[in-house]
């Protein structure tokens, strides 16, 4: 596993729930303005629950996050390269509110609606005023994907954004009963176009499934 935005990271495992909980606690107990704790907690939980790319999380709009019918519904714009054109595909992830990791996302959403309803993006770009101690948010620009990566590495030393994608892929594969089910489940969960990419997740994390299929 490598970190494309920084030095190579050598790990033999994906992120454990215990490791993620430590990262989330780090975000919640930040000493700076409370806004950053709320925002970073929501970022971490979105990565953990969906395995989306940093850029796709960064570009979420405020209206893309909705709570309805017992679900947290998050609609991402998935950017694909096809014939040198970048095509934006819309994909919605439905997460039951019974999942405890939806709470930080909803709390942050409620904060944004109450205080920054005029913002276009769910994670707007910001600057912190040392003079007033206030966070100044931009109405029409979003957090950069590199900034998302930096927040992840701040709260989880030894982790990076794509490792969350690897982790979600591993969880999906291990939850399936056979190789074929795992292959298509990973393709759907991570919004992949190529089955070969999904197969890499199955090969990496599905050795137990392979052994079961031989019985």
pLDDT tens-digit series, residues 171-180: 888 787 666 7
**Helix segments in the chain, DSSP class H:** 17-28, 34-50, 54-58, 103-115, 145-155, 161-175, 179-189, 195-205, 207-214
Handedness of CA 112, 117, 121, 126 (dihedral sign): negative
Tell me how far apart the alpha carbons of residues 87 and 127 are, in angstroms, rounded to a whole number: 31
- DSSP-derived letter for residue 178 is S
pLDDT tens-digit series, residues 76-119: 998 765 544 555 689 999 999 999 999 999 999 999 999 999 99
Cβ 139 vs Cβ 119: under 8 Å: yes
Handedness of CA 93, 99, 103, 104 (dihedral sign): negative
Residue-level pLDDT at 214: 33
Cβ 75 vs Cβ 90: under 8 Å: yes
pLDDT mean values, one per 10 residues, the chain (215 residues): 51 90 95 89 98 96 96 90 61 96 98 96 91 88 96 95 92 75 83 83 62 35
Residue-level pLDDT at 210: 41
In the chain, what are the domains?
Answer: 17-158 (1.10.443.10), 160-215 (no CATH)
């Amino acid at each position: 596993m490598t970190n494309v935005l920084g030095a190579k990271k050598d790990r033999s495992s994906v992120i454990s729930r215990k490791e993620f909980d430590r990262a989330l606690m780090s975000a919640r107990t930040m000493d700076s303005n409370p806004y950053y704790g709320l925002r970073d907690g929501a970022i971490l939980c979105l990565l953990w629950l969906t395995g989306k790319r940093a850029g796709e999380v960064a570009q979420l709009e405020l209206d893309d996050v909705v709570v309805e019918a017992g679900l947290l519904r998050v609609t991402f714009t998935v950017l694909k390269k096809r014939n040198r054109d970048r095509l934006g595909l819309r994909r919605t992830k439905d997460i039951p509110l019974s999942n405890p990791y939806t709470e930080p996302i909803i709390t942050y959403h409620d904060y944004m609606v109450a205080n920054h309803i005029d913002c276009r993006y769910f994670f707007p770009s910001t600057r912190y005023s040392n003079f007033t101690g206030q966070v100044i948010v931009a109405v029409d620009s979003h957090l950069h994907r590199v900034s998302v990566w930096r927040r992840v590495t701040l709260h989880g030393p030894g982790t990076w954004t794509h490792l969350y994608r690897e982790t979600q892929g591993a969880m999906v594969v291990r939850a399936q009963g056979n190789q074929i089910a795992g292959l298509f489940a990973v393709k759907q969960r991570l919004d992949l176009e190529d089955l070969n990419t999904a197969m890499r997740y199955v090969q990496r994390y599905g050795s137990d499934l392979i052994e079961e299929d031989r019985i």
